[in-house]
Amino acid sequence: MYAVVRIGPMSAPEPPPSSPGLSLSGFSSPEPAGQDATALDLQWMRHALALAARAEREHDEIPVGAVLVDAEGRVVGEGWNRNIGDHDPSAHAEIVAMRAGGRTLGNHRLVGCTLYVTLEPCAMCAMAAIHARLARVVYAAADPKTGAAGSVFDLIADPRHNHRVAVTGGVLADEGGTMLTNYFRRKRGKPPL
Protein backbone atom coordinates (compact mmCIF):
# COMPACT_ATOMS: atom_id res chain seq x y z
CA MET A 1 0.00 0.00 0.00
CA TYR A 2 1.32 3.46 -0.87
CA ALA A 3 0.87 6.63 1.12
CA VAL A 4 0.55 8.62 -2.07
CA VAL A 5 1.14 7.10 -5.46
CA ARG A 6 2.76 9.40 -8.02
CA ILE A 7 3.73 8.11 -11.40
CA GLY A 8 5.51 10.31 -13.88
CA PRO A 9 7.53 13.47 -13.44
CA MET A 10 7.86 14.67 -9.87
CA SER A 11 9.25 17.84 -8.46
CA ALA A 12 10.24 16.28 -5.15
CA PRO A 13 10.79 12.74 -3.90
CA GLU A 14 7.93 10.89 -2.26
CA PRO A 15 7.76 10.96 1.51
CA PRO A 16 7.75 7.50 3.06
CA PRO A 17 4.38 5.99 3.99
CA SER A 18 3.31 6.67 7.55
CA SER A 19 1.88 3.36 8.71
CA PRO A 20 -0.31 2.56 5.72
CA GLY A 21 -3.14 0.12 6.24
CA LEU A 22 -6.83 -0.29 6.37
CA SER A 23 -9.03 2.37 7.84
CA LEU A 24 -12.03 1.59 10.00
CA SER A 25 -14.14 1.67 6.85
CA GLY A 26 -12.30 -1.32 5.35
CA PHE A 27 -10.93 0.66 2.43
CA SER A 28 -7.37 1.89 2.61
CA SER A 29 -6.81 5.41 3.79
CA PRO A 30 -3.31 6.33 2.62
CA GLU A 31 -3.28 9.89 3.98
CA PRO A 32 -5.92 12.09 5.64
CA ALA A 33 -6.49 14.30 2.61
CA GLY A 34 -3.94 13.14 0.07
CA GLN A 35 -0.52 14.43 0.97
CA ASP A 36 0.10 16.01 -2.44
CA ALA A 37 -3.47 17.20 -2.96
CA THR A 38 -3.91 20.71 -4.29
CA ALA A 39 -6.90 22.94 -3.61
CA LEU A 40 -8.21 22.02 -7.06
CA ASP A 41 -7.78 18.31 -6.33
CA LEU A 42 -9.87 18.73 -3.19
CA GLN A 43 -12.53 20.74 -5.06
CA TRP A 44 -12.91 18.19 -7.84
CA MET A 45 -12.83 15.24 -5.44
CA ARG A 46 -15.69 16.82 -3.49
CA HIS A 47 -17.57 17.00 -6.80
CA ALA A 48 -16.85 13.30 -7.43
CA LEU A 49 -18.03 12.46 -3.89
CA ALA A 50 -21.29 14.33 -4.58
CA LEU A 51 -21.76 12.21 -7.71
CA ALA A 52 -21.10 9.06 -5.69
CA ALA A 53 -23.73 10.11 -3.15
CA ARG A 54 -26.17 10.73 -5.98
CA ALA A 55 -25.51 7.24 -7.37
CA GLU A 56 -26.51 5.70 -4.07
CA ARG A 57 -29.38 8.05 -3.25
CA GLU A 58 -31.09 8.18 -6.65
CA HIS A 59 -30.14 4.86 -8.23
CA ASP A 60 -29.09 2.52 -5.39
CA GLU A 61 -25.79 1.99 -7.19
CA ILE A 62 -22.48 1.36 -5.45
CA PRO A 63 -21.39 4.92 -4.56
CA VAL A 64 -18.42 5.62 -6.79
CA GLY A 65 -18.31 8.93 -8.63
CA ALA A 66 -15.93 10.33 -11.23
CA VAL A 67 -15.37 13.69 -12.88
CA LEU A 68 -13.14 14.35 -15.88
CA VAL A 69 -11.57 17.81 -16.07
CA ASP A 70 -9.63 19.18 -19.03
CA ALA A 71 -6.34 21.09 -18.81
CA GLU A 72 -8.22 24.41 -18.63
CA GLY A 73 -10.22 23.25 -15.61
CA ARG A 74 -13.53 22.58 -17.39
CA VAL A 75 -15.66 19.53 -16.65
CA VAL A 76 -15.83 17.51 -19.87
CA GLY A 77 -17.37 14.36 -18.40
CA GLU A 78 -18.79 13.00 -15.21
CA GLY A 79 -20.56 9.91 -14.03
CA TRP A 80 -21.15 7.37 -11.33
CA ASN A 81 -21.39 3.60 -11.24
CA ARG A 82 -24.23 2.49 -13.49
CA ASN A 83 -23.43 -1.20 -13.90
CA ILE A 84 -26.37 -2.45 -11.82
CA GLY A 85 -29.08 -0.27 -13.38
CA ASP A 86 -27.69 -0.48 -16.91
CA HIS A 87 -26.92 -4.23 -16.65
CA ASP A 88 -23.46 -3.34 -17.95
CA PRO A 89 -20.38 -4.72 -16.21
CA SER A 90 -18.22 -2.03 -17.85
CA ALA A 91 -20.30 0.94 -16.62
CA HIS A 92 -17.95 1.93 -13.82
CA ALA A 93 -17.88 5.61 -12.87
CA GLU A 94 -14.54 6.14 -14.59
CA ILE A 95 -15.71 4.60 -17.86
CA VAL A 96 -18.97 6.59 -17.79
CA ALA A 97 -17.02 9.84 -17.23
CA MET A 98 -14.44 9.06 -19.92
CA ARG A 99 -17.16 8.14 -22.45
CA ALA A 100 -18.88 11.47 -21.74
CA GLY A 101 -15.53 13.24 -22.10
CA GLY A 102 -14.89 11.59 -25.44
CA ARG A 103 -18.28 12.75 -26.70
CA THR A 104 -17.70 16.29 -25.39
CA LEU A 105 -14.24 16.57 -26.94
CA GLY A 106 -15.11 14.63 -30.08
CA ASN A 107 -12.08 12.41 -29.57
CA HIS A 108 -11.22 9.07 -27.99
CA ARG A 109 -7.99 10.63 -26.73
CA LEU A 110 -8.47 12.69 -23.60
CA VAL A 111 -5.04 14.30 -23.69
CA GLY A 112 -4.36 16.71 -20.83
CA CYS A 113 -7.40 15.61 -18.81
CA THR A 114 -7.46 14.62 -15.15
CA LEU A 115 -9.84 11.97 -13.85
CA TYR A 116 -11.02 12.35 -10.24
CA VAL A 117 -12.61 9.21 -8.83
CA THR A 118 -13.73 8.26 -5.34
CA LEU A 119 -12.26 4.72 -5.45
CA GLU A 120 -8.95 3.54 -6.85
CA PRO A 121 -9.48 2.33 -10.42
CA CYS A 122 -9.76 -1.38 -11.16
CA ALA A 123 -7.73 -3.03 -13.93
CA MET A 124 -10.33 -2.21 -16.60
CA CYS A 125 -10.53 1.46 -15.64
CA ALA A 126 -6.76 1.83 -15.17
CA MET A 127 -6.12 0.53 -18.68
CA ALA A 128 -8.87 2.74 -20.11
CA ALA A 129 -7.10 5.74 -18.53
CA ILE A 130 -3.88 4.75 -20.29
CA HIS A 131 -5.58 4.16 -23.64
CA ALA A 132 -7.37 7.52 -23.34
CA ARG A 133 -4.00 9.21 -22.73
CA LEU A 134 -5.11 10.91 -19.52
CA ALA A 135 -2.58 13.21 -17.88
CA ARG A 136 -3.56 12.28 -14.30
CA VAL A 137 -5.75 10.04 -12.19
CA VAL A 138 -6.61 11.27 -8.69
CA TYR A 139 -8.47 8.89 -6.40
CA ALA A 140 -9.87 8.97 -2.88
CA ALA A 141 -10.00 5.53 -1.22
CA ALA A 142 -7.54 2.82 -2.14
CA ASP A 143 -9.10 -0.53 -3.02
CA PRO A 144 -7.32 -3.33 -1.13
CA LYS A 145 -9.06 -6.04 -3.21
CA THR A 146 -8.95 -4.89 -6.84
CA GLY A 147 -7.04 -1.59 -6.91
CA ALA A 148 -4.90 -1.30 -10.04
CA ALA A 149 -3.13 2.00 -9.34
CA GLY A 150 -0.77 0.68 -6.69
CA SER A 151 -2.77 -1.16 -4.03
CA VAL A 152 -3.02 -4.67 -5.50
CA PHE A 153 -1.74 -4.14 -9.03
CA ASP A 154 0.10 -1.19 -10.48
CA LEU A 155 -0.99 -1.36 -14.07
CA ILE A 156 -0.77 2.39 -14.60
CA ALA A 157 2.93 2.44 -13.72
CA ASP A 158 3.89 -0.54 -15.86
CA PRO A 159 6.94 0.63 -17.86
CA ARG A 160 5.86 -1.32 -20.94
CA HIS A 161 3.10 1.20 -21.70
CA ASN A 162 3.81 3.88 -24.28
CA HIS A 163 1.98 6.52 -22.20
CA ARG A 164 2.51 7.63 -18.61
CA VAL A 165 -0.31 8.72 -16.33
CA ALA A 166 0.47 10.54 -13.08
CA VAL A 167 -1.44 9.15 -10.10
CA THR A 168 -2.27 10.77 -6.77
CA GLY A 169 -4.10 8.66 -4.20
CA GLY A 170 -5.68 9.32 -0.83
CA VAL A 171 -7.45 12.60 -1.62
CA LEU A 172 -10.42 12.67 0.81
CA ALA A 173 -9.88 8.94 1.28
CA ASP A 174 -11.81 8.69 4.54
CA GLU A 175 -14.92 10.24 3.01
CA GLY A 176 -14.80 7.97 -0.03
CA GLY A 177 -14.06 4.83 1.98
CA THR A 178 -16.72 5.50 4.60
CA MET A 179 -19.36 6.14 1.93
CA LEU A 180 -18.60 2.77 0.31
CA THR A 181 -18.46 0.89 3.58
CA ASN A 182 -21.76 2.34 4.78
CA TYR A 183 -23.43 1.40 1.50
CA PHE A 184 -22.44 -2.25 1.97
CA ARG A 185 -23.30 -2.15 5.69
CA ARG A 186 -26.77 -0.88 4.81
CA LYS A 187 -27.18 -3.68 2.26
CA ARG A 188 -26.35 -6.17 5.02
CA GLY A 189 -28.72 -4.57 7.53
CA LYS A 190 -25.94 -3.16 9.70
CA PRO A 191 -25.77 0.37 11.15
CA PRO A 192 -23.48 2.91 9.48
CA LEU A 193 -20.05 3.65 10.91
Report strand pairing: 65-69 vs 114-119. antiparallel
CA atoms of 175 and 25, how far apart (whole Å): 9
94 in catalytic set: yes
Catalytic residue among 31, 78, 94, 120: 94
CA atoms of 111 and 101, how far apart (whole Å): 11
Query: Do the Cβ atoms of 48 and 66 come closer than 8 Å?
Result: yes
CA atoms of 6 and 170, how far apart (whole Å): 11
Label residue 68 left, alpha or beta by phi (over 0 means left) and psi (-120 to 50 means alpha). beta
CA atoms of 65 and 55, how far apart (whole Å): 8
Burial 46-74 (b: 16+ CB within 10 A, else e): bbbbebbbebbeeeebbbbbbbbbbeeee
| Phi, psi for 190 (deg, rounded to 5) | -105, 155
Just list the catalytic residues: 94
